[in-house]
């Protein structure tokens, strides 16, 4: 997640430009057949990164689209409009979030559509799976994902949140800390909602006090870097679930709270050292992974007994 994301956008009433746009966005040739070109409109906003990409596309009019395969796994949700899809041997209504596995045929008929998507490289999913299992990643299971979905509405909320943050505010995607947190959150939601893996609790490693110490050391050494809880679990040699249990036993808080406190401490030191007029509370908060300045101020005040703006003015 160290390379910079690419922000993309397009508005057009030309079906051919729209076809080129979606083909580029999803990294595969896609056909787009429009029923009435005179009423057609297309709008796209996306943030793309080698590990994952979030996008929102809007179509005015009715049309069809097909693709032979995609290099990444794509999860999609039709927030508005009509959408019927065919993924391999599965079919459904896009108003329920659905998954397109890599290397799988896809076709859809839709109209007046607002579609949210999140596409992710298989190796990125495997990294998160490794953290969940505390072991080498198992083979991802792509067969019958949509028929066996357990909580697709979780994905609908995740995609809505990505559009409201990463796509709406360029400073969010520009922050490595926030970008990594959101990407891992989206992948974790994907794994929870769709049975990509078969998690067997008997395979999870039992955490030890040494495991917790390794996790704390990793957090302290990388607090300013874009690490997530899954990264910490991998570094500690255990699973996310086991790590959370160990932290509750050792500190009575989850590891995410421990990491958040370290980052607030980092922001505190930066605010104290800043020269007047050289920065703002919002800038400092975002550099330390806090997307919402108001929430950061509340957490900061709870730790230091004053508003961060007061620290900055001193």
The pLDDT, as a whole number, for residue 173 is 77
Query: How far, CA to CA in Å, does 41 sit from each of 24, 67, 128, 223, 268?
Result: 18, 21, 38, 45, 48
Cα–Cα nearest to 137, from 66, 198, 75, 73: 198
Main-chain phi, psi angles of 44, to 5 degrees: -140, 140
Positions in the chain whose pLDDT score sits under 70: 1-2, 131-138, 198-207
The pLDDT, as a whole number, for residue 201 is 42
Question: Rounded to an integer, what distance in angstroms lies between the CA atom of residue 242 and that of residue 209?
Answer: 12
Residue 177 is inside which H or E element, if any? helix 176-193
Cα–Cα nearest to 73, from 176, 17, 142: 142
Question: Rounded to an integer, what distance in angstroms lies between the CA atom of residue 29 and that of residue 23?
Answer: 5
Cα–Cα nearest to 46, from 98, 126, 116, 108: 116
Instruction: Give the list of residues 6+ apart from residue 84 with CB closer than 8 angstroms, or none.
Output: 91, 92, 93, 94, 108, 109, 110
The pLDDT, as a whole number, for residue 199 is 53
The pLDDT, as a whole number, for residue 203 is 41
Question: Rounded to an integer, what distance in angstroms lies between the CA atom of residue 309 and that of residue 279?
Answer: 11
Tell me if 75 sits within 8 A of 125, measured CB to CB: no
The pLDDT, as a whole number, for residue 204 is 46
Residues of the chain with CATH 2.60.120.10: 1-199
Tell me if 232 sits within 8 A of 215, measured CB to CB: yes
Question: Rounded to an integer, what distance in angstroms lies between the CA atom of residue 191 and that of residue 118?
Answer: 13
State the distance between the two ends of the chain, measured CA to CA, in whole angstroms.
35
* Fold (topology level) of 259-313: Arc Repressor Mutant, subunit A (1.10.10)
Residues 1-199, CATH architecture: Sandwich (2.60)
Tell me if 177 sits within 8 A of 288, measured CB to CB: yes
Question: Rounded to an integer, what distance in angstroms lies between the CA atom of residue 12 and that of residue 100?
Answer: 26
Q: What is the CB neighbour count within 10 angstroms for residue 74?
A: 22
3-state secondary structure of 101: coil
Cut 0.75: pTM above it: no
Cα–Cα nearest to 219, from 247, 241, 188, 248: 247
Tell me if 243 sits within 8 A of 211, measured CB to CB: yes
Question: Rounded to an integer, what distance in angstroms lies between the CA atom of residue 101 and that of residue 145?
Answer: 8
């Amino acid at each position: 997640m160290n390379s910079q994301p690419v922000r993309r956008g397009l508005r057009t009433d030309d079906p051919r430009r729209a076809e080129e746009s979606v083909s580029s966005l999803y990294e595969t040739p896609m056909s787009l057949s429009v029923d009435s070109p005179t009423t057609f409109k297309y709008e796209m906003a996306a943030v793309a990164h080698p590990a994952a990409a979030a996008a929102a596309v809007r179509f005015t009019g009715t049309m069809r689209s097909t693709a032979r395969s995609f290099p990444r796994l794509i999860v999609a949700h039709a927030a508005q409009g009509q959408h019927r899809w065919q993924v391999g041997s599965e079919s459904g209504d896009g108003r329920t979030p659905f998954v397109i596995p890599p290397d799988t045929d896809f076709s859809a008929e839709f109209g007046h559509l607002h579609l949210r998507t999140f596409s992710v490289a298989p190796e990125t999913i495997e990294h998160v799976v490794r953290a969940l299992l505390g072991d080498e990643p198992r083979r991802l299971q792509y067969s019958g994902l949509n028929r066996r979905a357990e909580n697709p509405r979780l994905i609908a909320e995740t995609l809505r949140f990505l559009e409201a943050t990463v796509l709406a505010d360029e400073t969010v995607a520009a922050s490595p800390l926030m970008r990594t947190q959101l990407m891992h959150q989206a992948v974790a939601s994907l794994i929870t909602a769709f049975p990509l893996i078969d998690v067997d609790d008997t395979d999870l490693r039992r955490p030890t006090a040494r495991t917790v110490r390794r996790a704390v050391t990793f957090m302290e050494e990388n607090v300013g870097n874009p690490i997530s809880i899954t990264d910490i679990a991998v570094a500690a040699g255990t699973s996310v679930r086991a790590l959370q249990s160990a932290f509750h036993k050792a500190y009575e808080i989850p590891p995410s709270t421990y990491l958040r406190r370290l980052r607030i401490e980092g922001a505190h030191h930066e605010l104290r050292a800043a020269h007047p007029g050289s920065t703002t509370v919002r800038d400092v908060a975002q550099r330390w992974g806090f997307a919402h300045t108001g929430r950061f101020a509340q957490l900061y005040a709870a730790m230091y007994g004053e508003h961060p703006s007061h620290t900055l003015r001193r």
